[in-house]
Chain A
Amino acid sequence: MAMVRTPLMFGRLPLGGRRLLFALALTGICLAFAFPVLWLILTSLRPESGVYYVHRGTEFTLASFAEVLQDDRLLQAFFNSALISTLATIFSLLVTVSSGYMLSRFRGPAAQTWFGTIYVFRCVPYISWVLPLYFVAQSWGIYDTYIGLLLPHIAVHICFFSWLMKGFFDGIDPSMEHAALIDGCTRWGAFIRVALPSAIPAISALAVLCWLFTWNEFLFALILTGNKVPVITVVMAQFVTEMGLRWNLMAATAVMALVPAFLLALFGQKYVIRGLRI
């Protein structure tokens, strides 16, 4: 891959000073971005009497993790969250890649209408439809089921991802597909065999982000699940009670939930940077 060196502002400084400044700036930025999460990790390691005054005292313990892990719902919740996130990612991408392709390759009223539709529904605030969604899920008998949690999680990504996918395909030269069509390839063939492979980097980038979104999603999970399909965010939310917050347990669960997200981001980031072009 070709790296473009963009000339930077401090190009005139001597090399050593430039390096030092650069390293300092980067360290500062990294610290600023990681700090809230580092602080969360530190919080989770403090005894319950020290989870608010994190900086006061040096006792550390794994007791909160041990307490959280006693709940057998937690493992189930991790499994469910991973399953729902993975399936939601796969299906969201499947349905939006074709929708984005359509938006990118066709002009005219049909494409305009579809783009208008996804734009309009992107603008509707969640607040206005989560409660009706609960009624819908109940009356269709999919409340507190995998399907009932999965399908809305796919639906919620349709507008955003179709839009991004359109951008991805806009960046891919359509002449190859035209050539394939002339060679007797079907439209489906041109889409799947010619255009799709070029979009794979973009799709893998989106996959990483979609998975992270679903993994960390609260509102739908809270509204659409009861006790049969516990997911990790709902388990976390249940540490909030009328009597107050069990912050140590919440922090420990959140830190555990961080691990898969971190691994995915670590191994997925090169795909993200490579692919996220619109």
Chain B
Amino acid sequence: MIREFGWVDVLYLVFAMRWTLALTATAFIGGGLIGLVIAVLRVSRVWPLQAIAVLYVQAIQGTPLLVLLFVFFFGLSIVGLPVLPWIAAALAFSIYAGAFLGEIWRGALDAIPKTQWEAGSALGLGFGEQLRHVIMPQAIRMAIPPTVGFLVQLIKNTSLAATIGFVELTREGQLTTASTFQPFAVYLTVAFLYFLTCFPLTQWSRHLERRSYGPA
């Protein structure tokens, strides 16, 4: 059943991108929620909570994503969940993204001068109110460029989900290669599709970074 790598295959690859993007979106939302908690724990003034956040980030950032994927993939059956690549990938990538986003956002929160917290507390605002009304609105501006930068990493790294059989762009490329035997053309096309998705984001992130802090 060997056939030529043609436009139809390119179209299939383009369609497979929706799973790349779906996994990215899922991981970004899941990781965003985890990251928010991690960042807030880090700036909380309760050291056991800080320690939990530090351990989480260190452990996840010190483990290859591939290992996380496999641990979750094979761990699913142990906790009684169906062994589906989609579930394993969504969990592993959320947990991975949570560590990196948490660290990025903590950096942004830390970059706000201590005196801003203090001014809030001198006005009688509680920790949550200071965070919500004083610190976060300022930190968000700073956090956006590196967050977009990480989004690029996330998109690229979803390619690893191919290794547990999740059919996204890279896996579709492997399947196409198997039926056309034209790996060079196929993988170059795959790379190009990733580039088309990532490059604009990279540029946007750079643009945001250069933008100065003006009135809202």
Q: Decide whether A and B are members of one complex.
A: no
Interface residues of chain A, those whose CB is within 8 Å of chain B, are none
